[in-house]
């Protein structure tokens, strides 16, 4: 070529330093040499890179049969205009890294949330294709939802006189263990007590906190089988004591997968005598763990009869209505007398989980009935009927005879006495019932005269007891039983969930998605079907995952959001996934299997091909086989790549590289490393063109756009695997990709006259 024949004069190099090359220097031609003009001057690598057009331009020119795409984060593409522009300028297709995966779309109740997908599809140009990634995988599946489908049905035979539908199966510890309870933090410990140390005898759980810290520094937990019902009211109730008079316990709920959505907090003062701890809250978000926080005060905490569950709603026909909750800021029709006592509305914030309560002050010790607060009932009680009281009570003193009763307002004859012992500084429940035996009972009274002090009463309810069927005999732990699903039932439920998921995604995205990874990574590195016959190898593992899996599905111990569909459905899951995908995707959509390490593991590739054959033997068509190709620049060889593409092409299927990147394993690569990376990218494109027939060339997707840390927080950190640097600058690898698409060195078309296109000298 011409440039190989010329000899540049020494001063020609100075041309690169001038700001206006036409005027700044004069130079001649050495004797015996060709005349030299600007076009004869070679460009540097950076100058060549700047003169390359966009990648998709070369695809359209040299390889129109294929599509070159990019895999990226949908949120970043939507929110960063500069990032989006680089992607749109260069690529013909986009694959989202996570936005279309099961765990990103499926909520814990099985509903599908398309918000991110819709925003992404609106942002993608109309002429840019979208590749769906993916329908079925073994990770990033909404495990909580799938687990809830196969978990046993929880049958709670609740005592109608209880406060909640208790779901804690080891509630009273009378089996002599603390099984099911976890604990951690602040060098704390848990243990079963000696027999006889429990509340009213038997066993209890002992939580030991060695030093004062934050409440949450030491925690005991019970994980429930499924998420609590949002909007429902739940109740904590347990007995507790401590070996210190200043003990403190707190309860709460949280999400055990991400430790978020924490709410339902209540704190209890726990001294050296057994005290009833009870609180309730409305569930407002997805939570599946109940916590006892015992880190605030050092000590031993004895826990017994721990109940937690959905509140058992009204046991009575409450005739007090809003007159018992005081939330209008007044005491309404409540009056009283005796012992110079007073009653008024409390200060704001002094209610039980509310704003206000009824505040009563008894100035001196006397008889219980010496100080009374009273409410005239709408009508006299009916003899022979059973009535109930319910209230929350708090005081600044201990009063063992804080009593509710009814009476005749004319004769003062009374009955229906129900008492509770107050606990200083803590809300306690008062609850009881009686059968009316006397005529004229038209007034309800609160007797608080025995001990001088200040008393708060809230959530007062009174009325006729609602008749219920008798509850079966049970232990203190509650009547919790499990109805286990058969393997056939689990299979049916999961196939239903699979079809619903694929149908929802396919129909929502419609023609906007031109291809789908129906099954992603179905083969382990040991060349076994993942999830079949106990094979649970994770990505990159060289040995099977031996973590236990309990057959009842209640304590599924796979990693977070791992779910092996084949474990419950069997090999059938593979062709059923394709059946559903073919049924619900638009005509012309191509459907794929996709896996990694196929270039370095021929055995795995062969098993993947057998996997495809199995699907087709069962009546479904697989359009293409995808190879991810996350490769190491320093170790991958052309022979490995050629062999893989030839093997894939021999199937007659479409072939796509779905997630290509070339790692350098350094955040600061040298020029020689960048050159090697470019050569590997080009080698892969060259091998693809050479070994995959044109009709089978679906294309290549480069995985993530730049080397910026925000794209590599988890995936290949500090490995510089992409063709753009962190500032969107074209790396040497950009040239390798373009030359690989073209099958030639495109930069040979550039010469010195293109120099201005790079630097745009001042004044030009």
The confidence band for 300, taking pLDDT boundaries of 50, 70 and 90, is very high
The verdict on 140 and 221 lying in the same domain is no
pLDDT digits (tens, 9 = 90+) for 38-70: 455 678 898 999 999 999 999 999 999 999 999
- Rounded distance between C-alpha atoms, residue 707 and residue 725, angstroms: 5
The whole-number pLDDT of residue 543 equals 41
* Residue where a domain terminates, one of 574, 599, 628: 628
Q: Which of 90-104, 197-211, 470-484 has the lowest mean pLDDT?
A: 470-484
- Residue 579 host element (H or E): helix 572-584
Q: Which of 40-54, 64-78, 436-450, 454-468 has the lowest mean pLDDT?
A: 40-54
Structure tokens at 432: 């009881």
What is the arithmetic mean of pLDDT over 587-600? Answer: 98
The whole-number pLDDT of residue 35 equals 55
Whether the pLDDT of residue 623 is over 60: the answer is yes
pLDDT digits (tens, 9 = 90+) for 653-698: 999 999 999 999 999 999 999 999 999 999 999 999 999 999 999 9
What is the arithmetic mean of pLDDT over 113-124? Answer: 97
What is the arithmetic mean of pLDDT over 101-105? Answer: 96
Q: Following CA atoms 59, 60, 63, 67 in sequence, which dihedral angle do they give, to the nearest 10 degrees?
A: 60
Task: Decide if 444 is inside a domain.
Answer: yes
pLDDT digits (tens, 9 = 90+) for 183-227: 999 999 999 999 999 998 899 999 999 999 999 999 999 998 778
The verdict on 503 and 618 lying in the same domain is yes
- Rounded distance between C-alpha atoms, residue 152 and residue 100, angstroms: 29
The verdict on 497 and 613 lying in the same domain is yes
The verdict on 246 and 323 lying in the same domain is no
The confidence band for 158, taking pLDDT boundaries of 50, 70 and 90, is low
The whole-number pLDDT of residue 424 equals 86
The verdict on 243 and 320 lying in the same domain is no
Domain containing 456: what range?
A: 316-465
**What percentage of the chain exceeds 70 in pLDDT?**
87
Neighbouring residues of 256: CB distance < 8 A, sequence distance ≥ 6: 221, 223, 288, 289
Task: Decide if 162 is inside a domain.
Answer: yes
User: Mean pLDDT in the chain?
Assistant: 88
Whether the pLDDT of residue 362 is over 90: the answer is yes
Task: Decide if 84 is inside a domain.
Answer: yes
The whole-number pLDDT of residue 131 equals 98
The whole-number pLDDT of residue 405 equals 97
The whole-number pLDDT of residue 333 equals 92
Task: Decide if 758 is inside a domain.
Answer: no
Task: Decide if 476 is inside a domain.
Answer: no
Query: Which phi and psi (to 5°) does residue 360 adopt?
Result: -125, 140
* Residue where a domain terminates, one of 289, 311, 333: 311
Quick one: residue 409, left, alpha or beta (phi over 0 = left, psi -120 to 50 = alpha)?
alpha
Higher pLDDT, 129 or 43: 129
The whole-number pLDDT of residue 130 equals 98
Task: Decide if 557 is inside a domain.
Answer: yes
The whole-number pLDDT of residue 751 equals 84
The whole-number pLDDT of residue 494 equals 97
The whole-number pLDDT of residue 30 equals 58
The confidence band for 24, taking pLDDT boundaries of 50, 70 and 90, is very low
State yes or no: cis peptide before 134, omega within 30 of 0. yes
The verdict on 306 and 322 lying in the same domain is no
- Rounded distance between C-alpha atoms, residue 50 and residue 584, angstroms: 45
Helical H segments across 463-547, by residue range: 487-509
Whether the pLDDT of residue 260 is over 90: the answer is no
* Residue where a domain terminates, one of 276, 311, 346: 311
What is the arithmetic mean of pLDDT over 437-444? Answer: 96
Q: Which of 53-57, 404-408, 453-457, 760-764 has the lowest mean pLDDT?
A: 760-764
The verdict on 367 and 304 lying in the same domain is no
Higher pLDDT, 674 or 352: 674
């Amino acid at each position: 070529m011409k440039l190989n024949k010329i000899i540049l004069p020494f001063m020609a190099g100075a041309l690169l330093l001038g700001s206006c090359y036409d005027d700044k220097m004069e130079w001649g031609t050495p004797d015996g040499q060709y005349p030299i003009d600007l076009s004869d001057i070679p460009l540097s690598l950076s100058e060549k890179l700047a003169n390359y057009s966009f990648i998709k331009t070369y695809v359209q020119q040299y390889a129109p049969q294929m599509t070159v795409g990019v895999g990226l984060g949908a949120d970043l593409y939507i929110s960063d205009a500069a990032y989006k522009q680089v992607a749109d300028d260069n690529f013909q297709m986009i694959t989202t890294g996570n936005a279309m995966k099961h765990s990103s779309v499926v909520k814990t109740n099985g509903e599908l949330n398309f918000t991110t997908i819709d925003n992404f599809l609106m942002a993608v140009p109309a002429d840019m294709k979208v590749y769906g990634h993916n329908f079925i995988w073994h990770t990033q599946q909404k495990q909580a939802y799938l687990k809830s489908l196969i978990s046993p049905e929880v049958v709670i035979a609740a005592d109608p006189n209880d406060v909640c539908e208790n779901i804690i199966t080891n509630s009273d510890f009378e089996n002599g263990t603390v099984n099911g309870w976890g604990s951690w933090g602040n060098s704390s410990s848990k243990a079963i007590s000696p027999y006889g140390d429990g509340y009213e005898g038997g066993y209890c759980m002992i939580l030991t906190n060695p030093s004062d810290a934050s409440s949450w520094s030491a925690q005991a937990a019970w994980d429930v089988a499924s998420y609590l019902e949002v909007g429902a009211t739940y109740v904590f109730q347990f007995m507790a004591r401590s070996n210190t008079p200043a003990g403190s316990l707190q309860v709460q709920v949280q999400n055990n997968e991400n430790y978020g959505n924490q709410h339902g907090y209540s704190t209890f003062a726990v001294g050296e005598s057994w005290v009833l701890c009870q609180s309730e809250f409305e569930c407002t978000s997805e939570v599946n763990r109940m916590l006892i926080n015992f880190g605030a005060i050092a000590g031993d905490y004895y826990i017994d009869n721990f109940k937690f569950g959905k509140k058992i709603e009204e046991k009575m026909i409450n005739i007090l209505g809003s007159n018992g909750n005081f939330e209008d800021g007044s005491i309404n029709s409540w009056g009283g007398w005796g012992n110079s006592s007073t009653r008024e509305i409390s200060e704001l914030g002094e209610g039980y989980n509310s704003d206000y309560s009824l505040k009563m002050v008894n100035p001196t010790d006397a008889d219980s009935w010496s100080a009374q607060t009273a409410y005239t009932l709408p009508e006299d009680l009916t003899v022979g009927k059973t009535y109930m009281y319910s209230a929350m009570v708090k005081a600044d003193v201990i009063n063992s005879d804080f009593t509710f009763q009814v009476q005749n307002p004319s004769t003062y004859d009374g009955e229906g006495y129900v008492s509770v012992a107050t606990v200083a500084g803590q809300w306690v429940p008062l609850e009881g019932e009686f059968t009316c035996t006397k005529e004229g009972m038209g007034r309800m009274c609160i007797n608080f005269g025995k001990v001088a002090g200040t008393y708060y009463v809230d959530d007062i309810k009174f009325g006729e007891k609602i008749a219920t069927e008798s509850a079966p005999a049970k232990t203190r732990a509650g009547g919790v039983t499990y109805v286990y699903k058969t393997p056939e039932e689990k299979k049916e439920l999961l196939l239903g969930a699979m079809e619903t998921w694929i149908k929802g995604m396919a129909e929502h995205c419609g023609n906007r998605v031109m291809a789908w990874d129906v099954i992603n990574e179905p083969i382990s590195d040991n060349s076994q079907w993942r999830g079949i016959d106990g094979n649970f190898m994770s990505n990159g593992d060289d040995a099977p995952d031996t973590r236990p899996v309990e057959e009842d599905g209640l304590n599924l111990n796979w990693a977070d959001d791992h779910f092996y569909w084949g474990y419950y459905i069997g090999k059938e899951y593979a062709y059923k996934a394709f059946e559903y995908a073919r049924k619900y995707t638009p005509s012309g959509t191509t459907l794929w299997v996709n896996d990694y390490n196929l270039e370095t593991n021929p055995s795995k590739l062969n098993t993947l091909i057998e996997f495809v054959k199995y699907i087709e033997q069962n009546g479904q068509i697989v359009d293409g086989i995808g190879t991810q190709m996350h490769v190491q620049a320093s170790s991958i060889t052309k022979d490995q790549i050629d062999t893989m593409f030839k093997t894939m092409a021999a199937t007659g299927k479409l072939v796509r590289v779905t997630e290509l990147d070339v790692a350098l394993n350094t955040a600061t690569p040298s020029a020689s490393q960048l050159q090697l990376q470019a050569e590997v990218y080009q080698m892969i494109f060259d091998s693809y063109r050479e070994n995959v027939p044109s009709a089978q060339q679906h294309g290549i997707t480069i995985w993530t756009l730049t080397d910026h840390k925000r794209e590599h927080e988890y995936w290949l950190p500090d490995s510089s695997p992409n063709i753009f640097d962190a500032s969107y600058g074209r790396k040497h690898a950009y040239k390798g990709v373009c030359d690989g698409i073209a099958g030639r060195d495109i930069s040979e078309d550039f010469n010195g006259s293109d120099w201005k296109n790079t630097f745009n000298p001042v004044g030009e």
